């Protein structure tokens, strides 16, 4: 693990088994110069947190594809605070809610849950990477 690289924890939260996007994100983030700890699919909040503690991660990037994102993500920020990960960057993306809802509404709800950024369906990895670099102060 290279020292000057930023460390990201990625995974698909809850009982979600959609594995393809997760693999794509893993490669895209690694390519972009991050240390990526990929927890794969069906990841619990506790697993995200434990991995972030041991690896001293800079951000947790949560994917949710199957529509249960809102339920699965609830309380993650509070648990991070509890575990001493105050201020860690939290992102979420995929198909985070069921069906088509105005995304501003969705974004507001996830913001209230403590996610620094949330992304609408179909957001390409490049956009995600751009924001990560900005938020983590990574110079190109």
Catalytic residue list: 16, 18
In degrees rounded to 5, what are phi and psi of residue 22?
-60, -45
Q: Which of 38, 95, 106, 110 binds ligand B12 (CB under 6 A)?
A: 95
Binding status of residue 17 toward ligand B12 by CB under 6 A: yes
- The reply on whether position 68 binds other proteins by CB under 8 A is yes
Which stretch in 60-68, 73-81, 101-109, 112-120 sits in contact with other proteins by CB under 8 A?
A: 60-68
Q: In what order do the strands lie in the sheet with 59-64?
A: 35-38, 7-12, 59-64, 89-94, 117-118
β partners of residue 62: 11, 92
Regarding 51 and contact with other proteins (CB under 8 A), the answer is: yes
Shortest separation between residue 65's beta carbon and other proteins, angstroms: 10
3-state class of 98 per DSSP?
A: coil
Task: Look up residue 91 and give its DSSP letter.
Answer: E
Query: Under rule CB under 8 A, how many of the chain's residues touch other proteins?
Result: 24
Cα gap 78→126, rounded to integer Å: 29
The footprint of other proteins (CB under 8 A) covers 1-3, 7, 14-17, 35, 37, 40-42, 47, 50-51, 53-57, 66-68
């Amino acid at each position: 693990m290279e020292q000057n690289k930023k460390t990201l924890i990625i995974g698909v939260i809850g009982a979600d088994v959609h594995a393809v996007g997760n693999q794509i994100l893993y490669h895209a983030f690694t390519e972009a110069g991050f240390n990526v700890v990929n927890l794969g699919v069906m990841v619990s909040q506790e697993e995200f947190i434990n991995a972030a503690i041991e690896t001293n991660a800079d951000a947790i990037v949560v994917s949710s594809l199957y529509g249960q994102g809102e339920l699965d993500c609830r309380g993650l920020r509070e648990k991070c605070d509890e575990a001493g990960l105050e201020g860690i960057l939290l992102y979420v993306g995929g198909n985070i809610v069921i069906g088509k809802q105005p995304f501003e509404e969705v974004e507001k709800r996830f913001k209230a849950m403590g996610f620094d950024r949330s992304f609408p369906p179909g957001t390409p990895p490049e956009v995600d990477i751009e924001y990560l670099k900005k938020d983590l102060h990574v110079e190109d």
